[in-house]
Every structure is written in structure tokens, then in C-alpha cells.
């Protein structure tokens, strides 16, 4: 595995306990970081023109609009 979570097999990425590299932190927090790197690397592998980093819902305008609509929706108790 390298810093992009790539294995020796193109298109196969690794994270967590099966990810072995020098300096790896073997804590649950390290596994979360591995997963983020692996997902972003897989995304770039499948769609080379994709942004280098995936967006979380709070940074995605479509999700932001949906969240606004949900929060501004009147409730039956209003």
C-alpha cells in the first residue's frame, strides 16, 4: 500500500488493519483516515476527472439546499 491506499493490483485500495505502510497509526482514528484516502483514491481511479476530494454533505450545495428545505418545513405542531 502507498500513501494513496493503492495496492499492487490496479483499482484495489486498502484501509484499516489490512493496510500496511511505514508510519501507519494502528488506532481506530487511523483506520478512518485510511478509509477516507481509499475512497477518494477509488473515486479518482473510476472517474479521473473527479475532484481530488469527496465532499461531505455540509459542503455540497445540493445537500445544503435539501437540508434548508427540511429545516424550514413547517411541522404539524406549528
| pLDDT single digits (tens) 29-50 | 888 888 888 988 998 999 898 7
- 1 inside domain: no
- Residue 10 has which C-alpha cell? 490496479
Residue 23 placed within a domain: yes
- Structural domain contains residue 2: no
Q: Is residue 47 part of a domain?
A: yes
Determine the pLDDT at residue 10.
94
Instruction: Choose between 44 and 25: higher pLDDT.
Output: 44
pLDDT, one tens digit per residue, over 47-76 is 898 776 655 666 677 777 777 777 776 655
Give whole-number Cα distances, 67 to 32, 58, 61, 74, 77, in Å.
Answer: 25, 9, 10, 13, 20
Q: What is the pTM of this model?
A: 0.60
Domain count, the chain: 1
Residue 12 phi, psi dihedral angles, 5° rounding: -110, 125
Query: Would you say residue 3 lies in a domain?
Result: no
Cα separation, 49 vs 32, whole angstroms: 25
Task: Specify if 51 maps to a domain.
Answer: yes
Residue-range definition of the domain harbouring residue 55: 16-72
Amino acid at each position: 500500500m502507498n500513501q494513496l491506499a493503492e495496492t499492487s493490483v490496479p483499482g484495489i485500495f486498502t484501509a484499516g488493519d489490512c493496510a500496511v505502510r511505514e508510519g501507519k497509526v494502528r488506532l481506530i482514528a487511523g483506520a478512518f483516515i485510511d478509509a477516507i484516502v481509499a475512497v477518494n483514491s477509488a473515486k479518482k481511479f473510476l472517474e479521473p476527472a473527479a475532484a481530488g476530494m469527496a465532499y461531505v454533505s455540509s459542503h455540497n450545495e445540493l445537500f445544503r439546499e435539501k437540508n434548508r428545505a427540511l429545516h424550514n418545513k413547517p411541522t404539524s405542531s406549528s
